[in-house]
Structure 1
Amino acid sequence: MSDKNTYSGVLIIQFPQKHKQASRHAVKSLYKSLVSGHPISFPSSAIWKVSVQPKVSFFGWEATWGKALTLDQLQRRGWALENRCYVCQRHEESIDHILLHCDKARTLWVLLFSMFGVQWVLLATVKEMLSGWNGTFVGKKRKGVWKASPLCLFWTVWKTRNKVAFEEEELSIQRLKSSFVYFLWSETKRSIKDGPSTLVDFVGWVASC
């Protein structure tokens, strides 16, 4: 999908059979908003009503408004900088690119969807993505983890980006994946009733519920 802040293509999401009807209703509503040209409501509940640290929610809020200090934002403020994504080193850096469409970020989205056993097409912007992040199909036990997943992914990618940019840390895909899964577990384990006590158990629990 393009890095541009426009929506194109078909929204294709596949769910387990028993959850399809409720999930299709939510996706249908989002799709209608996208194709009709009507503005999408700000996804407040997907940012502030999630079991994560306030700083993680705040970054999600910044990202949704496009206020994070990515290179394109710094250029708009008058900084004479070359704009190249610190993470993939291939495309211009914007918040939608780095969190959704960057090849390295996509590896985390693929990992996340495989953990939950779903197929999902990433939308063009962070705002669209969070607006369509409905968790009814994952079941009651996993819903809290699902709701926290995009914010935890955003935070992991952003922290990694900053380490590469400012500490000249070499990017490791395996470390990026491990950091994301660990952070997701650490942020959500307190909200899981009778949940897994170790990281390994957490991965198995997400896949089996």
Structure 2
Amino acid sequence: MAVRRRSSCWGSIACLPPVLEKDQVSFLTFFQNSLNPDGSYKWSWSLDHSGVYTVSSLQKYIDNRTLPRSDAVWNWNPLVPGKVNILAWRTSHKRLPCMENLYKIGISSSDLCQMCHEATESVDHIFVGCPISKEAWAQVCNWWRLLGNYPSNCMELLKCKESLGGHNRLERIHEAIMLGFLWVIWRYRNNKSHRSNQTTGSKFTLPFEVQSLSYLWINARIRKGRKLRWLEWCCDPILECYGRM
């Protein structure tokens, strides 16, 4: 049984070189052959300090080799779902399928914003420049009462928690609300793009969606007995966060 498992493992590894060749990644050079004291040979994997082949070590190497370099760094926020963190990462790297990107590669015949139809739909325009996003963000600011000046691009929006200046208890919640804003705007944009106007919902409900989604996400991920209260969250979220967390 052990021999079969080993054969299966090496059989899977043997299939990797053709996959890596298209990315010009040399594979066999990562294996090093050494002689044991008993005269047998030992193979070790050079990308991991343990010398054992792991998929994660090879994945890191391929990502560092093939993914575009960027100064944008996104730290995972545990208060929101994984899909929302992924959206934030793609936003920070300008990797969303906005109309500008789709137009450049010939998939779309127009690059106009799907929400306002007034300007080119770039990643920055969707979340910061569009009048619908601006209005929704202004209402979120009025509710939360801690946000500073209106951001000029997505990176400023993603780093907005830095404006809190040492309020560690609120930073992560503040960021979760911002991520809820990204998710709500992106979902509204997709509905406008792929559905009829009758099924997209109203732009006036976007701030309330941010409010309710962030409340549900945070409450699902904090300790029991410290849940946020809905009425207090709506009326004075800062005081509620200090009192409950």
**TM-score > 0.5 by shorter chain:** yes
Alignment partner of 2:237 out of 203, 206, 209: 206
Counterpart amino acid of residue 197 in structure 1: R
Q: 1:142 to 1:119 in 2, by over 3 A?
A: closer
Q: Which has the higher contact order (CA 8 A, sep 6+)?
A: 1
- Alpha carbons 1:115, 1:207 under 8 Å: kept: no
Q: Which residue of 1 aligns with 2:187?
A: 159
User: Is 1:179 aligned to 2:209, yes or no?
Assistant: yes
Q: Kindly state the Cα deviation for residue 135 of structure 1 after the two structures are TM-superposed.
A: 5.7
- Alpha carbons 1:71, 1:83 under 8 Å: kept: yes
Q: Which residue of 1 aligns with 2:228?
A: 196
Q: Kindly state the Cα deviation for residue 182 of structure 1 after the two structures are TM-superposed.
A: 1.1
Alignment of 1:48-127 (within 5 A): 48-127=76-155
Alignment partner of 1:131 out of 136, 159, 163: 159
Counterpart amino acid of residue 85 in structure 1: C
Q: Kindly state the Cα deviation for residue 74 of structure 1 after the two structures are TM-superposed.
A: 0.3
Counterpart amino acid of residue 201 in structure 1: E
Q: Over residues 84-141 of structure 1, what are the superposed CA-to-partner deviations in whole Å (9 max), with x where a residue is unaligned? A: 2111222221111011111111122112221222352233321233235316448454
Q: 1:140 to 1:131 in 2, by over 3 A?
A: closer
Q: Following TM superposition, where does structure 1 have runs of at least 4 consecutive aligned residues deviating by more than 4 angstroms?
A: none
- Alpha carbons 1:100, 1:126 under 8 Å: kept: yes
- Alpha carbons 1:68, 1:95 under 8 Å: kept: yes
Q: 1:80 to 1:160 in 2, by over 3 A?
A: closer
Q: 1:135 to 1:195 in 2, by over 3 A?
A: farther
Q: Between the two proteins, what is the percent identity of the paired residues?
A: 16
Q: Could you tell me how far apart the structure 1 residues matched to 2:93 and 2:235 are?
A: 35
Counterpart amino acid of residue 229 in structure 2: S
- Alpha carbons 2:74, 2:88 under 8 Å: kept: no
- Alpha carbons 2:91, 2:123 under 8 Å: kept: yes
Q: Which residue of 2 aligns with 1:30?
A: none
- Alpha carbons 1:43, 1:131 under 8 Å: kept: no
**SS class of match (1:59):** helix
Q: Could you tell me how far apart the structure 2 residues matched to 1:148 and 1:93 are?
A: 25
Q: Could you tell me how far apart the structure 2 residues matched to 1:205 and 1:141 are?
A: 15
Name stretches of at least 5 consecutive residues in structure 1 with no aligned partner.
1-39
Q: Could you tell me how far apart the structure 1 residues matched to 2:219 and 2:108 are?
A: 43
Q: Over residues 164-193 of structure 1, what are the superposed CA-to-partner deviations in whole Å (9 max), with x where a residue is unaligned? A: 111123551222222221111111123456
Q: 1:143 to 1:119 in 2, by over 3 A?
A: closer
Q: Could you tell me how far apart the structure 1 residues matched to 2:166 and 2:187 are?
A: 28
Q: Quick check: 64-73 or 101-110, which moved more?
A: 101-110
Q: Over residues 46-95 of structure 1, what are the superposed CA-to-partner deviations in whole Å (9 max), with x where a residue is unaligned? A: xx134111100001111111110000000111224222211122222111
- Alpha carbons 1:84, 1:90 under 8 Å: kept: yes
Q: Could you tell me how far apart the structure 2 residues matched to 1:187 and 1:135 are?
A: 23
